[in-house]
């Protein structure tokens, strides 16, 4: 209990730190195992019209179902994910791609290890929570929902989306360091 309270305190301080966009507001914090992260992600997917996702692994049946249904309802959904994880036995990346959802896999970093989503360019979920069935059912993970008025996560997503595009120019460019968006 002490560790959980201390973790929440530190996360609150980090999210409200002025250099990171102190106008942001924590909306919710959840820990797993348990279905709260999954349930809240699905709720945000159902509410949003535009969803940008950067996630290491994705095979959570319920989240994938919500994304595909959302896409067929006309929501704008883009996903950046890890190249190696996307080819894994349990990955649902091909199912998402075949449904028509815009998807990029990393081509230039060793791994794409981010775990965040931006909903309507205003609210964000981030944390250690991989969008997988074990993350909800077995693992000890966390997810934090917050507002991002400085649009740091939206900017990062757009950077990754462009960086991973499979163009001749991108393949020819030397590896560049990503821009610093906010420093603590």
Nearest of 50, 41, 71 to residue 157 by alpha carbon: 50
CATH number at 125 reads 3.30.870.10
Q: How many domains does the chain have?
A: 1
pTM of the predicted model, to two decimals? 0.81
At how many degrees (to 10) do helices 36-47 and 61-72 cross?
0
Residue 18 resides in a domain: no
Residue whose structure tokens are 């990503």: 178
133: containing domain:
32-164
Phi first, then psi, for residue 171 (nearest 5°) are -70, -30
Cα separation, 76 vs 136, whole angstroms? 25
Residue 1 resides in a domain: no
Percent of the chain residues topping a pLDDT of 70: 78
pLDDT tens digit sequence for 64-81: 999 999 999 999 999 999
What average pLDDT does this structure show over 132-161? 95
Q: By the 8 A CB rule, do 66 and 95 touch?
A: no
Structure tokens of 129?
């929570």
Residue whose structure tokens are 């991002």: 148
> In the chain, what is the straight-line distance between the N-terminal and C-terminal CA atoms, in Å?
27
Residue 19 resides in a domain: no
Q: Which residues are catalytic?
A: 113, 115, 120
Residue 148 resides in a domain: yes
pLDDT at residue 176 in the model: 46
Nearest of 139, 161, 157 to residue 148 by alpha carbon: 157
pLDDT for residue 17 is more than 50: no
Helix residue ranges, H only, 17-125: 36-47, 61-72, 83-86, 93-98
């Amino acid at each position: 209990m002490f560790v959980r309270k201390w973790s929440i305190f530190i996360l609150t301080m980090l999210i409200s730190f002025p250099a990171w966009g102190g106008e942001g507001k924590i909306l919710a914090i959840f820990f797993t195992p348990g279905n709260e992260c999954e349930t809240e992600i699905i709720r945000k997917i159902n509410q949003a019209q535009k969803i940008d996702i950067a996630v290491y692994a994705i095979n959570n049946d319920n989240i994938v179902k919500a994304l595909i249904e959302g896409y067929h309802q006309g929501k704008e959904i883009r996903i950046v994910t890890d190249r190696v994880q996307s080819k894994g036995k349990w990955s649902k990346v091909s199912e998402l791609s075949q449904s028509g959802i815009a998807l990029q896999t990393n081509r230039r970093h060793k791994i794409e290890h981010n775990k965040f989503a931006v909903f309507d360019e205003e609210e964000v979920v981030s944390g250690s929570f991989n969008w997988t069935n074990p993350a909800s059912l077995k693992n000890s993970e966390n997810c934090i929902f917050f507002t991002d008025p400085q649009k740091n996560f939206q900017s990062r997503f757009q950077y990754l989306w462009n960086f991973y595009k499979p163009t001749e120019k991108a393949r020819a460019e030397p590896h560049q360091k990503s821009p610093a968006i906010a420093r603590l």
